[in-house]
């Protein structure tokens, strides 16, 4: 459904876009990110209208969301989310490139054969070059290794990330889906090369608290920040599934969430957490976002958005008071156990 680029030069971003955003530092780096960032995982492929993607990206920038998170295989099909972002960059956002932090990743399967997956220098270098072509950028701000490749020496993967920075193709580097031990190892290797680890991406929500403890401590020791994904548990921490699985929902059509993941236990927990949110005057999604941001080590939470209204609702999570001790205790009663995950 992507159509040709049509620049709208009448659009100008909100001049007050930075006024009320409490930007957070990524570890001990100089990089500041908004507490809620826009992830382009599932709503920016060729199956979605370009005008919707454009409207969401422009609205995000209007509200001070300066960080956009991509990966080489986001779509569908693979690569199309980067192409969509590139089109909106050319038509609308190019004059503001220096105000935007663009992140992309490589590590999962991207093209056939032995060099289109994993953590080798060949794959990471070729993938980043392809990402730059698709987005039309000269460099990305953050380049992540998307997952640990146990068949490739970590020294090689770290060397490829360092080489990307030295070649001027990336400004910062990060890793995603790494264990605490591998975060520590790759951070040490990168430090020796002179390119510090800046960001680590884990899955984190009230239903998946595994980053608490060892991972968060490893990230803090490394001087990096946490950029957490799936803070809404693929929609299970929204009002979408409070009455079961509706027809046409993500659980009925996504490769990443199935109806088996929306158990009665999950629904009951979500309903209880929704009551906590309502007592605060928030939606369940807003409570879930506010909760993952309660720890200063969380630099940013990545959220998707299929519409401007959904984006606005998520960003409105930043309004209101911090969670109080009694509210946190009530969340603990219905969330996954500290450091654990629900059996789904």
Question: Taking a C-beta distance cutoff of 8 angstroms, is the pair 301, 289 a contact?
Answer: yes
Examine the pLDDT at 136 and tell me if it is beyond 50. yes
Q: For residues 245 and 292, what is the distance between their CA atoms, to the nearest angstrom?
A: 25
Evaluate if residue 50 carries a pLDDT over 90.
yes
What are the backbone angles phi and psi of residue 58, rounded to the nearest 5°?
-65, -40
CB atoms within 10 A of CB 127: 27
Plot region of 2 (φ>0 → left; ψ -120 to 50 → alpha; else → beta) = beta
* β pairing state of 101-106 and 140-145: parallel
Q: pLDDT digits over 280-330, tens only?
A: 999 999 999 999 999 999 999 999 999 999 999 999 999 989 999 999 999
List the structure tokens of 219: 């990230």
pLDDT score at 1: 45
Cα distance between residue 150 and residue 178, in whole Å: 11
**Average pLDDT rounded to a whole number, residues 51-64:** 98
Mean pLDDT of the residues in the chain: 94
Q: Which pLDDT score, from 0 to 100, does residue 305 have?
A: 97
CATH class, domain 24-236+288-334, is: alpha beta
Assign 107 to helix, strand or coil: coil
Q: What sections of 89-179 are H helices per DSSP?
A: 121-135, 154-166
Q: In this structure, what token pair is assigned to residue 121? A: 């220098």
What is the residue extent of each domain of the chain? 24-236+288-334
Contact by Cβ (8 Å): 319, 293: no
Kindly state the average pLDDT of the residues 153-172: 98
Whether 3 shows a pLDDT value over 50: the answer reads: no
CA distance to 15, 81, 133, 135, 238, per residue, from 3 (Å)? 29, 14, 19, 16, 31
The average pLDDT across 15-42 equals 97
Alpha carbon distance 131, 78 (integer Å): 11
* Averaged pLDDT, 67-86: 98
Distances in whole angstroms, Cα of residue 161 to Cα of each of 127, 253, 336: 12, 35, 34
Does residue 4 surpass a pLDDT of 70? Answer: no
For range 264-293, the mean pLDDT: 97
Contacts of 111 (CB under 8 A, 6+ apart): 78
What average pLDDT does the segment 216-220 reach?
Answer: 98
CB-based contacts of 53, cutoff 8 Å, min separation 6 = 43, 44, 84, 85, 88
| Confidence band for 243, pLDDT divided at 50, 70 and 90 | confident
| Distance separating the N- and C-terminal Cα atoms of the chain | 34
Residue 245 has pLDDT above 70, yes or no: no
> Mean pLDDT throughout 261-272?
92
pLDDT of res. 6: 58
Proportion of the chain above pLDDT 90, given as a percent: 90
Environment class of 70 (CB within 10 Å of its CB; exposed 0-12, middle 13-18, buried 19+):
buried
Q: Is 142 helix (H, G, I), strand (E, B) or coil?
A: strand
Alpha carbons within 13 A on the beta-carbon side of 337: 2
Say if residues 232 and 273 touch (Cβ distance below 8 Å): no
The verdict on whether omega for the bond into residue 56 sits within 30 degrees of 0, i.e. cis, is no
- Collapsing DSSP to helix, strand or coil, 105 comes out as strand
- Look at residue 5 in the predicted model and tell me its pLDDT: 57
pLDDT at 10: 84
Q: What pLDDT is recorded for position 320?
A: 83
Enter the DSSP assignment of 259: G
- pLDDT top residue among 320 and 340: 340
CB burial class (10 A; 0-12, 13-18, 19+) of residue 236? Answer: buried
Closest to 62 (Cα-Cα) out of 8, 100, 24: 100
At residue 246, the pLDDT reads 64
Mean pLDDT, rounded, for 46-67: 98
**Torsion-angle region of residue 343: left (phi > 0), alpha (psi -120 to 50) or beta?**
beta
Q: What confidence score (pLDDT) does residue 2 get?
A: 43
For residue 131, the SS3 value is helix
Pick from 4, 83, 11: nearest CA to 40: 83
């Amino acid at each position: 459904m992507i159509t040709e680029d049509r620049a709208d030069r009448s659009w100008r971003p909100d001049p007050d876009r930075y006024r009320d955003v409490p930007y957070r530092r990524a570890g001990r780096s100089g990089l500041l990110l908004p507490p809620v960032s826009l992830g382009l995982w599932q709503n920016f492929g060729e199956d979605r209208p370009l005008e919707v993607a454009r409207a969401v990206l422009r609205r995000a920038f209007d509200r001070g969301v300066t960080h956009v998170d991509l990966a080489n295989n986001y779509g569908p099909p693979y690569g199309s989310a980067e192409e969509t972002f590139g089109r909106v960059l050319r038509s609308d956002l190019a004059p503001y490139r220096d105000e935007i932090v663009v992140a992309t990743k490589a590590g999962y399967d991207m093209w056939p054969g032995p060099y289109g997956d994993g953590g080798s220098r060949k794959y990471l270098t070729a993938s980043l070059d392809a990402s730059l072509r698709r987005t039309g950028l000269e460099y990305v701000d953050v380049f992540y290794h998307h997952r640990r490749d146990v068949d490739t020496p970590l020294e090689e993967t770290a060397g490829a990330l360092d080489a990307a920075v030295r070649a001027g193709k990336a400004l910062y580097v990060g890793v995603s889906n790494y264990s605490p031990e591998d975060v520590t190892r790759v951070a040490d290797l990168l430090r020796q090369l002179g390119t510090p680890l800046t960001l680590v991406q884990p899955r984190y929500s009230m239903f998946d608290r595994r980053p608490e403890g060892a991972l968060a401590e490893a990230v803090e020791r490394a001087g990096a920040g946490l950029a957490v994904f799936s803070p809404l548990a693929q929609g299970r921490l929204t009002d979408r599934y409070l009455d079961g699985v509706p027809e046409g929902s993500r659980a009925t059509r996504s490769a990443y969430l199935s109806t088996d993941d929306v158990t009665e236990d999950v629904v009951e927990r979500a309903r209880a957490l929704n009551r906590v949110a309502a007592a605060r005057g928030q939606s369940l999604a807003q409570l879930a976002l506010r909760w993952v941001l309660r720890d200063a080590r969380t630099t940013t939470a990545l959220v998707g958005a299929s519409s401007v209204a959904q984006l606005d609702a998520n960003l409105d999570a930043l309004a209101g008071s911090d969670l109080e001790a009694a509210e946190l205790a009530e969340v603990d009663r219905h969330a996954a156990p500290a450091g654990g995950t629900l059996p789904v």
